Amino acid sequence: MSRSCSGQLWSVLDTGLRDADENMALDRALLDAVAAGEWGPSLRFLCFRDSALLGHHQSPRQELDLDYCAAEGIQVQRRLTGGGAIVFDPSQIGWELVCLRRHLPAGDMTALSREICEAAAAGLRRLGVNAQYRPRNDIEVDGRKISGTGGVLDGEAVLFQGTVLIELDIPRMLRILRVPVEKLDAHAIRSVAERVTSLRALLPELPSMAVVRQALLEGFRERFGGQWEDMAEGDLPEPVARRLPQALAEVRAPDWLSLQDRPPEEQSLRHAIVRTSGGTLRAAVLWDERGQRVKQIQFRGDMFIQPSRALVDLEARLRNSHIRELEDLVSAWFAAEVVDAFGMRPEHFVAVVRQAVEDAHAPCL
């Protein structure tokens, strides 16, 4: 059954392979055209030349190795949406819904994220992978992330976007991203491989871009109903094309990239250990001092916990969370999930994170 108006017409745009600034400017132009009522709800597919994309609230100096990016010709840009930095190359595909709020099921941003991610996951399942939504905004296959997503509201207009990892070069990704927790681990590549996957790793034969796009389209069509009409590849709606030059000028301006510029010294990797009746629990926390946020986290130790993916799920739930949310997030997660931690309780996870972030002598990255 359709979850939106059965007669709703959606436009399907494929804007092809573009530079990062063009793709970000098209986000702005398309969102503005929809918000102004000059264009209707759209599903856009996009591809990037080698790029590193910051989340809207991130600092380039904290998140990326800018010298390496410059030397390798990797374009650096900032997204309209929040979340963490991501690495794009021509082998990956991006997708996004741009529409008015009324074109989607009712609910807050959390509910909206679930609805859209479920649609994208349904599309990926058509390719033969067991894709599932993982709160708060990931799509996973057997416990490993294959797609990250994020959204932004502009009045009544919504832009919600995601990626699909078709191929994945983990060493290169870690070289570009300056401060992931995993980069500082001696088993960096194996650690990331346990948490992230790609269609290349999952399927005996890699599908073409066209097949992936069609599968995603079918997932959205099935979930939301309505009519979905393809535009010619590369074509832009007139209201979007008209806004594009101004949007390009804005994202190319130095002020846009330096919008959230902060010194690397304000972000540090901190460690702590808590010993419990259920075993030893270790935490490595990438800590944002100014924002008082847990940017990334890894739990390790000699504990026993089932299901095996439980720690990965909890790490995902705590990513980019404010320290004030810590206890509520951990307690809610334990209450909602069926987890057997063999004597390790929610307060132990809270304690090890608090101990880590209160370590005033933690080394800076």
Q: For the domain that residue 296 is a member of, what is the CATH number? A: 3.30.390.50
Q: What distance in Å separates the CA atoms of residue 41 and residue 156, rounded to the nearest whole number? A: 12
Q: For residue 365, is it within any domain?
A: no
Same domain, 253 and 269: no
3-class DSSP state for residue 262? coil
Q: Closest by alpha carbon to 256, among 98, 92, 76?
A: 76
Q: What is the pLDDT of residues 54-107, one digit of tens each?
A: 988 788 888 899 999 999 999 999 999 887 889 999 989 999 999 999 998 877
CATH number of the domain residue 37 falls in: 3.30.930.10
Domain count, the chain: 2
**Residue 220: what pLDDT?**
96
Q: What is the pLDDT of residues 310-321, one digit of tens each?
A: 787 888 889 889
Choosing from 257, 282, 315, the residue where a domain stops is 257
Residue segments in the chain with a per-residue pLDDT below the cut of 70:
1-6, 179-189, 262-266, 303, 308, 360-365
For residue 166, count CB atoms less than 10 angstroms from its CB and return exposed for 0-12, middle for 13-18, buried for 19 or more.
Answer: buried
Same domain, 117 and 224: yes
**Residue 2: what pLDDT?**
41
What are the Cα distances from residue 219, in Å, to 59, 122, 142, 214?
Answer: 34, 5, 19, 9
Q: For residue 154, is it within any domain?
A: yes
Q: For residue 363, is it within any domain?
A: no
Q: For residue 4, is it within any domain?
A: no
Name 272's Cβ contacts closer than 8 Å, sequence gap at least 6.
Answer: 282, 283, 285, 352, 353, 355, 356, 359
Same domain, 143 and 287: no
Q: For residue 2, is it within any domain?
A: no
Q: What distance in Å separates the CA atoms of residue 343 and residue 92, rounded to the nearest whole number? A: 42
State which residues form the domain around 280.
264-357
Look at the pTM and tell me if it is higher than 0.85.
no
Cα angle: 246, vertex 247, 251; to 5 degrees? 120
**Residue 105: what pLDDT?**
85
**Residue 188: what pLDDT?**
59
**219, 124 in Cβ contact below 8 A?**
yes
**Residue 347: what pLDDT?**
93
Same domain, 288 and 227: no
Q: For residue 230, is it within any domain?
A: yes
Same domain, 225 and 294: no
Choosing from 202, 234, 257, the residue where a domain stops is 257
Q: For residue 130, is it within any domain?
A: yes
Same domain, 196 and 322: no
**Residue 183: what pLDDT?**
44
Choosing from 203, 227, 257, the residue where a domain stops is 257
Q: For residue 362, is it within any domain?
A: no
